[in-house]
Structure 1
Amino acid sequence: MTSFDNSHPAKAAVNDTFIFDYYSKNVKRKPFSITARDFLAQNKFSTEYIYRYSECPCPPWHIEKSLVKTQLQDKISKKDLPHLIKSEAEILIDSEYSKHLQIFTDGSKDPHGNTSCAYVVPELKIKKGFKLPNYISIFMSELMAIFVSLLWLEDFKPIKTVIFVDSLSALQAIRAPIFKVKNQILYDIHLILTSLKKGGSEIIFEWIPSHVGVMGNESADLQAKNALNLDNCIDFIPLFKEDIKTVCKNFLKNSWQKDWETNKDRSLFKIIDKVNFQINIPNLTREKETITLQIKNRIYWTK
């Protein structure tokens, strides 16, 4: 209930202070939303940007169904050679979408957490990249790339358009029934698509594989990577539940790293100077992991 917006009738009936007072006495039953809000506040992260679930902005039956295709998924696999995958993708583009305005979108995230999105329109030589907040996940960056391309389509309004996306998860989210949507960006995408369709535009989403040399996709990928270095950032994107987990994990890892660097026992630090949530030596039993760690710390007696 704490994740609902203020217009929700149940939220209006229950005061926030009541919820916090109740769970302060029941720490073991505290829900994730309250735990995350407290943790983010302790780490000086503004909680006003946390997304609150809201209802569909218009009656769901007014939303036009999105046309999402994944034809190549049945024709290719990861085991296929890249040049064969590229050939299948180019055949699809030339045979079915030669008369459509073609748009390619992509999202990007580097190892440092910087995030961006981009779209390109090869026919019109349009290339647009946007810097996104660091807390945005790669899934959200893919949706944002689609969203900003649709904003451009609202002004241009072509008759036939195909948007090529290399993220299956993003397309599956768009294709899912409207009652399963829990993301404001998806609501916005559906509303723009409905408006364009009622205006006479035909919008098709088509999945294409990434990093196989398809020219438009490679151009969008390059544009997204270049946008990682931009100074101006889109800052109206709320913090979603999945992104909150990432932010909390990064806070914990940074705090752990600081403690690790100031620890008095430096013998293991000389071997492993960076902390990691993953086990460095996989496929070991708990006993062998303990012995390995004791050997690294020089506290294990060998015969």
Structure 2
Amino acid sequence: MSLQQVLMVCTISFCGTFLNPACILSLNFLITFGPPGTSLHIGGKRPSDPSNDRPIALTSCLCKTLKRMMDDRDRLVHVLESRNLLSKGLRIALGAFRTSPIKSLYAEAGECSLKHRRTKLAFNYVMKLKSLPRNPCHDIVFEAQLSDFSADSKSGLDFIANTFEHIKNAKININTIDNQYVQCPPPWEELHVHVDISLTKQKKEDTSEVAYRKEFYRIKEKLSNHYAVNTDGSKLQEKVATAAFFPERPDRSKATRMREGTSVFNAEIKGIALALTEMKKSSLNTIKAFLYSNSLSRLQAIQSKNFKVKDIWRLYNLIRKCPQNVHISFAWIPAHDGIRGNENVDKRAKAALNRAPSSGKLICWSDLKAKVNAYIHTVWKENWDAQGTNKLHEVLPTLGEDLS
């Protein structure tokens, strides 16, 4: 096969990294097939900027294209397998022998096969689509009968039946996925929320607890007319809980346990929502509240108005719906530095881990990615463990854990 023929089939770009310390190299294949201009980037990356994910927007006219990508029998796989392009790329990256089995190359590189990566991509697509009921493909995928998908492979949708089978085997309940549709507020309704992260200027490794407490009380003294509220989230294995603590009114403090698998980031945002909901019930004439949190990432998301995170949008809606006499600000404080309110809310969040999970709480689809990765890794491990005669299996019985 000539170089020109190879270039006609695929373009190889060295823009990532195989998880192999001996050889830092990666091959991202951009396969072009069918009519001119029809192309897919397998890694889901934007070729001009490989560091950023490019979401796949699927409409009915692209069903057959995605089907080609998902189906093991499609032309995409035959292009790779018939010309051994994938195995050749792995051999170059790993410096392997020509006779090394391809499954050994996958294990050595810490990269699962294209089949498993396509399954993972299908998982993520179906879960994200479930969170977007207004998407044109939502009804096609979730309201049609599975028999309709598998009855005619030419429909371009039979890959959905396989994906749902994997979802069932992974024991993922997609009915618990929250609606992530966001309609950003118009410019004239945007709120400016004050977020104080001045304490981050001091490096934690170079700052003592006493210095942090001193600086915190200096800030608090300036806000003597403000109502203090502490929020926090806690996680222990699969258990996740959140809490909101009112130092001046401990009886009004709230704590709840989230669904298993919820990320700490989303749990901490729920803690802020608990505090805001409770403050809306206040009978005080005027409330100037300062919400203290030890999660810098969520405060930065609030500050940047990252409405791609549905819960950030909900927080702004809660603030907007608060009475005019309620004024909300946020501030970052370090965790586990002896600040009384922060320690109290941390204890309440940990205590809530022992409660029964709330059945009414829904989960963000992205929080289920960890379960998807674990399932794909389990399937890959089962295939690898079946290689009893493979010499590498004796040396490398455990596969790499990183599937991101």
Query: Do both proteins adopt the same fold according to a TM-score greater than 0.5, normalized to the shorter chain?
Result: yes
Question: Secondary structure at the residue paired with 1:78?
Answer: helix
Label 1:63 to 1:252 Cα distance change in 2 as closer, same or farther (>3 A): same
Q: Deviations along 1:242-261, whole A, 9 cap, x unmatched?
A: x1321212334566788899
* Pair 1:230 & 2:355 matched: yes
Q: Which residues in structure 2 correspond to 1:108-257 (within 5 Å)?
A: 108-110=234-236, 112-126=237-251, 127-156=253-282, 158=284, 159-177=287-305, 180-196=306-322, 199-233=324-358, 235-241=360-366, 243-252=367-376
Q: Tell me if the contact between 2:294 and 2:332 (Cα under 8 Å) persists in the aligned partners.
A: yes
Question: Secondary structure at the residue paired with 2:211?
Answer: helix
**What is residue 201 of structure 2 aligned with on the other side?**
74
- C-alpha displacement at 1:199, in angstroms? 1.6
Aligned mates of 2:265, 2:373 — CA distance in 1: 17
Q: Tell me if the contact between 1:104 and 1:217 (Cα under 8 Å) persists in the aligned partners.
A: yes
Aligned mates of 1:165, 1:189 — CA distance in 2: 14
Aligned mates of 1:262, 1:213 — CA distance in 2: 53
Aligned mates of 1:157, 1:174 — CA distance in 2: 26
Aligned mates of 1:157, 1:247 — CA distance in 2: 44
1:214 alignment partner AA: I
For structure 1, list consecutive stretches of 5 or more residues without a partner in the other structure. 1-10, 266-271, 279-303
1:138 alignment partner AA: V
Aligned mates of 2:212, 2:336 — CA distance in 1: 10
- C-alpha displacement at 1:215, in angstroms? 0.5
- C-alpha displacement at 1:162, in angstroms? 0.7
**What is residue 214 of structure 2 aligned with on the other side?**
87
Work out the percentage of aligned pairs sharing the same amino acid.
21
Label 1:262 to 1:227 Cα distance change in 2 as closer, same or farther (>3 A): farther
Aligned mates of 1:220, 1:257 — CA distance in 2: 41
1:161 alignment partner AA: A
- State the superposition RMSD in angstroms: 3.5
Q: Tell me if the contact between 1:131 and 1:234 (Cα under 8 Å) persists in the aligned partners.
A: no
1:244 alignment partner AA: L
Label 1:125 to 1:33 Cα distance change in 2 as closer, same or farther (>3 A): same
1:163 alignment partner AA: L
Q: Between Structure 1 and Structure 2, whose CA radius of gyration is higher? A: 2
- C-alpha displacement at 1:230, in angstroms? 0.3
Question: Secondary structure at the residue paired with 2:354?
Answer: coil
Label 1:276 to 1:181 Cα distance change in 2 as closer, same or farther (>3 A): same
Q: Tell me if the contact between 2:180 and 2:364 (Cα under 8 Å) persists in the aligned partners.
A: no
Label 1:42 to 1:156 Cα distance change in 2 as closer, same or farther (>3 A): same
Q: Tell me if the contact between 2:191 and 2:316 (Cα under 8 Å) persists in the aligned partners.
A: yes
Aligned mates of 2:345, 2:384 — CA distance in 1: 40
Question: Secondary structure at the residue paired with 1:25?
Answer: helix
Q: Deviations along 1:102-145, whole A, 9 cap, x unmatched?
A: 100000111x2211100110101133211011211111111111
**What is residue 25 of structure 1 aligned with on the other side?**
68
1:116 alignment partner AA: A
* Pair 1:35 & 2:106 matched: no
For structure 2, list consecutive stretches of 5 or more residues without a partner in the other structure. 1-56, 71-75, 78-117, 127-162, 390-395
Aligned mates of 1:118, 1:234 — CA distance in 2: 17
What is the aligned length? 257
2:288 alignment partner AA: K
Larger RCO (CA within 8 A; separation ≥ 6): 1
Q: Deviations along 1:36-93, whole A, 9 cap, x unmatched?
A: 3334344231223345542326435313121111121124533212232222223322
TM-score by length of 2: 0.55
Question: Secondary structure at the residue paired with 1:228?
Answer: helix
